[in-house]
Amino acid sequence: MSAPSDDDSITLTFDDNRLLTLLFGEHDQHLSIIEDRLDVELTPRGNHLALTGKSDACNGARQVLDSLYERLKEGLDVGPGEVEGAIRMIEQGDTKKLSGKISEGVHIKTPRRVISARSPLQGEYMSALETREMVFATGPAGTGKTYIAVARAAAALSGGFVDRIILSRPAVEAGERLGFLPGDMREKVDPYLRPLYDALYDMLPANRVTRGLEDGTIEIAPLAFMRGRSLTHSFIILDEAQNCTPMQMKMFLTRFGEGSRMVITGDPSQIDLPTGQKSGLAEAISLLDDIGDIGRVRFSHKDVVRHPLVAKIVRAYDSAPRPEQS
């Protein structure tokens, strides 16, 4: 693309040519993303990269490239998601969490991968999961609420900090009347819990997940199955919590036991409860607002880390008028 007026120019030199292919991406895909998002022109020449554009844009691109290069030197993956995340940090003015070094940045290390914050608020979320026993995370799809929570759960189990992982969702689509569905219990609930399985297999080796599901160290169950239990030394995640009734939410929160961590995630704009039925998520957040030991993270469309088009879709829906949920 043509360079903007009042151009500045920066030349970066990288000392490890083996990492440049990974840094630039297949067919220079990563460079193209940076060019499009930051309005700069990037020209590779051997182990040098020329940055041309307005001064602020060049400085931002330099920070993004330096961060991604550090990730590669640390042995971390760099893909389009990491590129978008680094750019998002620059756009939101949070360069402190941009570091690619595990010792300096905000990361969760699981047996299969290292998960890094892709937005400033994701960094705050990761910190809250590390320091608080209970965390509420709300916001639109694509912000990493559930994925990051499962990553922290997998890290806690692998590190011996908890004895088991318990993942739950309200099976609202089935009206919690699972007995009317065909198949055994696993076949009945799997369609509603599949996103949790997917995240687990991203964090843990497949045989570890299979063994955990068999021996009970990993449990995935609909919310109705939590009643009457006391969950100790566990990492407990309630996903899609906006579809809990107030009584279900109270029941779930009071399952919290000694040595446990609990994360409640949901999107208050995506309530699937019957018309007139109050969501327990908003009520719980309001009622527990004065309890300082509970972490609260509220994501917005700015934190969507999926395809950039998803953020635009979320923004469009958020700005449209809608009937109030009672």
Q: Is the pLDDT of residue 65 over 90?
A: yes
Domain ranges of the chain: 8-102, 108-319
In the prediction, which pLDDT does 94 show?
A: 60
Q: Is the pLDDT of residue 297 over 60?
A: yes
Do 108-319 and 8-102 fall under one CATH topology? no
Burial class for 20, CB neighbours closer than 10 Å (0-12, 13-18, 19+): middle
Among residues 157, 158, 173, 183, which one has the least CA distance to residue 272?
173
- Residue spans of beta strands (DSSP E) within 33-109: 41-45, 48-53, 107-109
Q: How confident is the model at residue 123 (pLDDT cuts 50, 70, 90)?
A: confident
Supply the mean pLDDT for the chain. Answer: 83
Q: Is the pLDDT of residue 163 over 80?
A: yes
CATH number of 108-319: 3.40.50.300
Q: Which residue has the higher pLDDT, 179 or 14?
A: 14
Q: Which residue has the higher pLDDT, 246 or 318?
A: 246
Q: How far apart are CA 277 and CA 185, in angstroms?
A: 27
Q: Is the pLDDT of residue 32 over 60?
A: yes
Work out the average pLDDT over 253-264. Answer: 94
Q: How far apart are CA 203 and CA 213, in angstroms?
A: 15
> Considering only 13-17, 77-81, 145-149, 207-211, which range has the smallest mean pLDDT?
77-81
> Considering only 63-67, 94-98, 125-129, 140-144, which range has the smallest mean pLDDT?
94-98
Tell me the pTM. Answer: 0.76
In the prediction, which pLDDT does 186 show?
A: 54
The three-point CA angle 145-67-199 to 5° equals: 25
In the prediction, which pLDDT does 181 show?
A: 47
Q: Which residue has the higher pLDDT, 26 or 304?
A: 26
How far lies 150's CA from each of 224, 239, 316, in Å?
Answer: 20, 10, 29
Among residues 202, 285, 303, which one has the least CA distance to residue 241?
285
Q: Which backbone phi and psi does 137 adopt, to 5 degrees?
A: -125, 120
In the CATH scheme, what architecture does the domain 8-102 have?
A: 2-Layer Sandwich (3.30)
In the prediction, which pLDDT does 103 show?
A: 45
pLDDT tens, residue by residue, 177-191: 445 444 555 555 566
Give the pairing type, strands 164-169 and 48-53. Answer: unpaired
Work out the average pLDDT over 89-107. Answer: 61
Burial class for 75, CB neighbours closer than 10 Å (0-12, 13-18, 19+): exposed
